[in-house]
Amino acid sequence: MSSIYRIDIGRKKVTVEDVPEIYRHLGGRGLSAAILLDEIDPTTDPFSAGNKCIVAPGLLSGTLAPCSGRLSVGGKSPLTGTIKESNSGGLAAQKLARLGVKALIFEGEPNREGTLIKINKRGIEILPGDAYRGLANYECVKRLREQFGDRIATITVGPAGERRFLNSTVAVSDMDGIPTRQAARGGMGALLSSKGVKAILIDDLGTSIIQPRNFEKFKKACSVFVRNLIDTKQILRKFGTAGVLNPVNSVGGLPTRNFSRGQFEKSQELSGERVYDMIRERGGEGKYAHVCCPGCVIACSNVFVDKEGKSIVSSLEYETITLLGANLEVSSLDEIAKMNHRCNDLGLDTIETGVTLGVAMESGLVPFGDAQKASDMIEEIGKGSLIGRVLGNGAVTAGRVLGVTRIPAVKGQAIPAYDPRGLKGTGTTCILTPMGADHTAANCLPGRGGVDCTKPDGQVALTMAIQALVAVLDTLGLCIMTGSDPANDKFLAGLMSGFTDEEWTGEKVMEWGKSILRMEHRFNEAAGFSSAQDQLPSFFLTEKLPPLGHTYDVPYEDAEKAKRNLMEERGL
């Protein structure tokens, strides 16, 4: 039986609670939403005692379900002011699940203690973290493994979170024992740090795999799911997420020069094909088809290496390549990979960082195309200098200070690597998701759902369906790379039928997803959000995006209506 652990570091107190029946079928994102809605005042200041930080494995984490290692970190976001769930791969979720941790709830007064939380079969301990404070993630995890042994999985907050920067991540260690997976968005690093956490160390020695209620049914559902993943994810396995760069560039939606162009003339130098070629040519530590957590059958990760074959970063992903690359007019994958590594090390979201640097370049602070100066700015963030503080608080704050009005952000959070004018479904996701601009809530890539991503038609229905499915994936702890096509509801129904030994249909899965979205929207509404904030910055509606001339023209009324309909449905 799993339990909920409440941790109040200021009071040095850990409380263990049984899981209430209503949370039984929840995990990850859905559980985080339910707890936040039940326990915090949505109008609370994010950095006050009123806020909480929820760390929760998915419902299927720790089982034999493939790709089920996502860890959710939730709370009221200091960046967006909305409810927030940010999730990450790596080892932590599966180990926490096997240890019987349904959720860790960090609560209480904000403090700057920077402690260690040690979790193993014997329970949870709060240990002093003095020796680790201020350390960047890689050095911190290296030393933690020296002190606590190589078995541990780690969850760490980097210097950006320790400084309470609104752009700050929670880092999770991967199968290579390095803190390269990130719950990156919404400033969750600052939130977790404000509750007094520097690192969480997890040792699952002596635990075993989580058993479903109906093993045979579950195993069969897993096989069907795995077979489908192996059949359909081959391009992803080869080229990684950067495989979408060429298609996104083709439709004219690749953020370039602070979202002022939709195609980058040097896009070929940044493509997934190029990443793959370089890794193969350079050899050494380089890997493609790399996995970030046990049980992954997709393997979209990679280890990107320098000319000598030494690892620069793992994993080099599409959003990072585009936003630290095309968006800054930087065309060197080596330079991008180095910046990516340094962001991971400091605990900075590469999406927010890339967009912030694009805004800084538009202000003239740094020239477009200058990777060295962009890199220097990331170092300034690390040092916490004045310009570092400005940039470390994200695109909206930086734009305000630097006097830039073209700031690509929704609800305070930077728009990811899909220009809403060229990828109208993902653009619509950015305005409709409860999370602030976030493609992971429903990424409507070119061709998805048979909808033309450059036309307004069908986008609202597409994003709403995918959002519901993704809410379930994030609740189960399944990677979104398993496929957020709404037709995948049947695989999830199979898994849930086996796991619970109750009858689940695809329809029920979708209803469940919608009920999770409703919780999140209810939180936001009580926090003061209305459809008035479900909008893009106006330049996306008025500036034609060269060279293909797209504008964002999905009617806001349609989006508003879809959200209203969602909220009026009753469902699960």
The verdict on 530 binding a second copy (CB under 8 A) reads yes
The verdict on 47 binding a second copy (CB under 8 A) reads yes
Shortest Å, Cβ 392 to a second copy: 9
Mark 365-375 as b/e (b = at least 16 C-beta within 10 Å): bbebebbebbb
Other CB atoms within 10 A of residue 182 CB: 27
Selection from 537, 564, 530, 531 nearest residue 552 by Cα: 537
Q: At a CB cut-off of 8 Å and minimum separation 6, what does 381 contact? A: 160, 165, 167, 346, 348, 353, 388, 389, 391, 392
- Report cis status (omega within 30 of 0) of the bond before 315: yes
CB-nearer residue toward a second copy: 172 or 536: 536
The verdict on 50 binding a second copy (CB under 8 A) reads yes
Query: Which window, 148-156, 162-170, 223-231, 487-495, contacts a second copy (CB under 8 A)?
Result: 162-170
Q: Render 354-374 in DSSP notation, one character per residue.
A: HHHHHHHHHTTSS-TT-HHHH
Beta bridge partners of 5: 16, 104
Query: Which window, 174-182, 261-269, 473-481, 525-533, contacts a second copy (CB under 8 A)?
Result: 525-533
Cα 219 from chain centroid? 28
CA 346 – CA 369 distance, rounded (Å): 23
CB-nearer residue toward a second copy: 61 or 397: 397
User: Longest C-alpha distance within the chain, in Å?
Assistant: 62
Find the binder of a second copy among 111, 214, 250, 533 (CB under 8 A): 533
Shortest Å, Cβ 289 to a second copy: 42
Mark 126-136 as b/e (b = at least 16 C-beta within 10 Å): beebeebeebb
CA 379 – CA 343 distance, rounded (Å): 9
Written as six digits, the tokens of 382 are: 């690390």
Shortest Å, Cβ 417 to a second copy: 23
The verdict on 403 binding a second copy (CB under 8 A) reads yes
Find the binder of a second copy among 52, 70, 95, 164 (CB under 8 A): 164
Find the binder of a second copy among 76, 84, 95, 163 (CB under 8 A): 163
From residue 100 to residue 119, the character string flagging contacts with a second copy as x (rule: CB under 8 A) and all else as - is ----------x---------
Distances (CA, A) of 543 to 257, 420, 440, 548: 14, 12, 25, 12
50 DSSP 8-state letter: T
328 DSSP 8-state letter: G
The verdict on 45 binding a second copy (CB under 8 A) reads yes
Shortest Å, Cβ 36 to a second copy: 15
Shortest Å, Cβ 516 to a second copy: 22
The verdict on 233 binding a second copy (CB under 8 A) reads no
Count, residues near a second copy per rule CB under 8 A: 34
Find the binder of a second copy among 234, 268, 538, 565 (CB under 8 A): 538
Find the binder of a second copy among 156, 180, 393, 440 (CB under 8 A): 393
Find the binder of a second copy among 180, 397, 428, 433 (CB under 8 A): 397
The verdict on 166 binding a second copy (CB under 8 A) reads yes
The verdict on 16 binding a second copy (CB under 8 A) reads no
The verdict on 353 binding a second copy (CB under 8 A) reads no
CB-nearer residue toward a second copy: 326 or 361: 361
The verdict on 254 binding a second copy (CB under 8 A) reads no
The verdict on 408 binding a second copy (CB under 8 A) reads no
Find the binder of a second copy among 405, 455, 549, 567 (CB under 8 A): 405
Written as six digits, the tokens of 335 are: 């330079």
Shortest Å, Cβ 398 to a second copy: 9
Q: Render 182-231 in DSSP notation, one character per residue.
A: EE-TTSHHHHHHHEEEEEEEE--TT--PPPPSSHHHHHHHHHHHHHHHHH
The contact set with a second copy (CB under 8 A) reads: 42-45, 47-50, 110, 163-164, 166, 386-387, 389-390, 393, 397, 400-403, 405, 526-530, 532-533, 535, 537-538, 542
